[in-house]
Amino acid sequence: MTDQEQPHRRQQLVVVGHGMVGHRLVEAAIERGLTETHDITVLGAEARPAYDRVALTSFFEVGAKALNLLPRGRYDDPRVSLRTGVEVVAVSPRQRIVTLNTGEDMHYDELVLATGSYPFVPPVPGKDLDNVFVYRTIEDLEAIRKAARKARSGAVIGGGLLGLEAANALSQLGLETHVVELAPRLMAVQVDAAGGRTLSRHIEALGLSVHTGAMTEAILGPDRAGRVTGLALKDRKALDVDIVVFSAGIRPQDALGRAAELVVAERGGILVDERCRTSEEHIYAIGECAAPGGVMYGLVAPGYAMAEVVVDTLLGGEGTFEGADMSTKLKLLGVDVASFGDAHGTTEGALELTYADDVAGVYKKLVIAEDPEDGTRRLLGGVLVGDASAYGVLRPMAASGLPLPDNPEDLILPAGGGGGVALALPADAQVCSCNNVTKGEIEAAVDAGCETAADVTRQTRAGATCGSCKTQVKKIVEDHFAAQGRTVDRSLCEHFPLTRAELFDVVLIHGHRTFDQIVEAHGTGRGCDICRPTVASILASQLNGHVLARENRTLQDTNDAYLANLQRNGTYSVVPRIPGGEITPEKLIVIGEVARDFGLYTKITGGQRIDLLGARTEQLPAIWRRLVDAGFESGHAYGKALRTVKSCVGSTWCRYGVQDSVGLAIMLELRYRGLRSPHKLKGGVSGCARECAEARGKDFGVIATEKGWNLYVGGNGGAVPAHAQLLAGDLATEDLVRYLDRFLMYYIRTADRLQRTSTWIDQLDGGLDRVREVVVDDVLGLGTELEAAMAQHVDCYVDEWTATLEDPDKLARFVSFVNAPDLPDPAISFDTARDQIVPAPAAVDLGASIPVGAGR
């Protein structure tokens, strides 16, 4: 019986490969309803589900979990089955069967090959030695990290996109790093000679060695352990390295197709038509294993486009793959690099307009075509190195063929950026090349109810992959609102028609000191759980008053109201401040004695502090008294304030340390302790580039250099991790503190409620560049004012635990029941695990709520 005679039989779609492209195909199939007629089986050779290879280098900061594209390890649609760690060893097109390495045969009606590519390793003598790696998977990075622990220096063979990412990884691991490139410049495919020179200068300024036009002759070794001892270069001095990483390009993983006798392109890759169908009717190929029109695309965006085409075809649509935008924008070793359109000016009659600033390390080039009939000039492509802020406008402008303005140089000159051009982009201009989202689709999402750029990203995926178009998406959303005469309501809540930043300024200007004064003058009603804690934070930032002062104590949420963190069973945790993680044996003994005497659970936190959990409300003052008498103070683990400044042992102890990271961390933590802010703040100080304090995962991070300190800002962990970005480098301690004072006060004054520094920077007009202008360049003339505000905070600091212990009025609230102050809460009970107390399973999970009848 034929398929046509069985119209109700569910079709079996098998997808071989679960990388980013295979995952996107399944997502598209679910979104567009293909699973109504098809059962989908996905077979992934890697043990992991799909993960973000575009952000592979960030693995060292965020770990594998943060890169996972399928956090639950399965799809919500029950008609999709994912099997990882399974390899397809053969395809039989006539029988429509795939054979697995387990010996199992699996039938398919339609088959999609999404097997990706593999790293090319040239036949160099010594390539099989230990400590020679490729740079492709998380497992590769784990192996490199393990080897780096016993290595001093490394070399990356290949200076393309992935090669520079690999060099960044070695540098992050603290290795002296060399980049060896056969071509006469770095990123030869994307940038021209001048752009390559600018990029090389940037990278060498960061301490890496660049060797262009260099041919690798052999990998030297082995030593006694079978490992690399060096790298021999033709006509050049050999490099003394312990690790070698190959990143010399990729090759399509087309072995399955070849074995199944599918037609293969001349230069590799399974040949497919405009519908991504192979020479066999029921077999498709997408991503890096495919060669549409004989061309193999090595970027994720074309793979995503192919995935969409296949799903459309299986649904009976007419979509076709007609080539792909190979534009790229990324930050390599902290350097912005972008290339779009005809970047090398290969079009006949192309003209070049360039801007170069060798001092600032900026190079920009526009490739322009002029119509001989009417003189209209259009953008064909371009290169941006050192400053890629205009990429979001220039790339869609080149793709759409929009006429250039009369003065196209304004698009790349420092005062330019093409902001006004965004309005003129046609609706079909592609804004997000990764997910093929047009300006019209973004505006349609706004019309359908999206109120913010973040809403648009969730709805359309624009900016969700590489992130290079996020600024442009935000600009389009804002322009669309402006064109409609609409505004986005950014009011704090229904009681205040102001943003948090506007409310901060109102309180500062009018000198209000209580919530009642503020709401009477600028709001309505009695407040809510949004505006009351926000006002409390603003007042604490400006007045440096105690959070339990009588006029403002009712504004605090549960944790601030009790100067401790509420736990799931109604008890609290106590975290004393241990600046920089440095503590004397005597103080350690006191903490141990307090934990023992009060029967508390003890745990060392990720921020180098000791957490004492399980304290009842009425026990808190007694615990504080013991700790305060021993010289401790509140660690503010309960507040939207500075939590910790983490440090490594630095030059005092470490053989790699170049500065006293512990001393600086202690100084900074003591300076900023108690600083109330829109969200919690965390800092870190590392004594060398090995980054043991994980400073680039903090709201502000400091890393020692031979010349001083590098200051990074805007990092955080949590549900949406962010990597801190370099604000200023090689700073003297005095300059570092001055810039940090300004940065923190600028953030406190202008950020939204519960907005982390990373999100705040992203949403500022100009992003990090704007922060640098205000903090370092002082373009607003606010530097002195911001520094004075911080000085006032430092001068007025009072430990909140000590102030509470000295005030009978404040102490009166620390009882379980106001009508029975000596009675402990009978609902609190414990079990024992690993020789410590833990909440009993029957305990009520309070979250952040408070039981009725309790005096909290």
Could you tell me which residues are annotated as the binding site? 648, 654, 688, 692
Contact 712, 53 (CB under 8 A): no
3-state secondary structure of 480: helix
Angle CA 479–480–485, to nearest 5: 95
User: Three-state SS string across 374-435, please?
Assistant: CCCEEEEEEEEECCCCCHHHHHHHHHHCCECCCCHHHHCCCCCCCCCHHHHCCCCCEEECCC
Known binding positions for [4Fe-4S] cluster: 648, 654, 688, 692
d(CA 592, CA 223): 49
d(CA 21, CA 744): 41
d(CA 84, CA 73): 9
Angle CA 318–320–325, to nearest 5: 145
Residue 5: φ, ψ to 5°: -85, -5
d(CA 293, CA 272): 7
Supply the DSSP string of 706-732, one letter for each residue.
SSSEEEEES-B-SSS-B--EEEEEEE-
d(CA 698, CA 724): 7
d(CA 580, CA 63): 24
Q: Retrieve residue 822's tokens.
A: 């000596």
Contact 535, 557 (CB under 8 A): no
Contact 336, 176 (CB under 8 A): no
Give me the residue label for tokens 């309501």: 489
* Buried-exposed string 270-298: b where 16+ CB fall within 10 A, e elsewhere: bbbeebbbbbbeebbbbbbbbbbeeebbb
If we measure between CA atoms, which residue out of 761, 745, 557 comes closest to residue 640?
557
If we measure between CA atoms, which residue out of 678, 644, 697 comes closest to residue 746?
678
Q: Alpha-carbon dihedral of residues 602, 603, 608, 612, nearest 10 degrees? A: -40
d(CA 221, CA 157): 17
**Residue 317 zone, left/alpha/beta (φ > 0; ψ -120 to 50; rest):** beta
d(CA 74, CA 435): 22
Contact 396, 418 (CB under 8 A): no
* Cβ atoms < 10 Å from Cβ of 644: 28
3-state secondary structure of 54: coil
3-state secondary structure of 796: helix
Contact 217, 133 (CB under 8 A): no
| Cβ-proximal residues to 1 (8 Å cutoff; 6+ apart), any chain | none
d(CA 307, CA 45): 19
Euclidean distance between the first and final Cα of the chain, in Å? 73
Q: Retrieve residue 743's tokens.
A: 């940065």
d(CA 717, CA 713): 13
Known binding positions for siroheme: 692
Residue 172: is it exposed, middle or buried by C-beta count within 10 angstroms (0-12/13-18/19+)? buried
H-assigned helices in 556-619: 558-562, 585-598
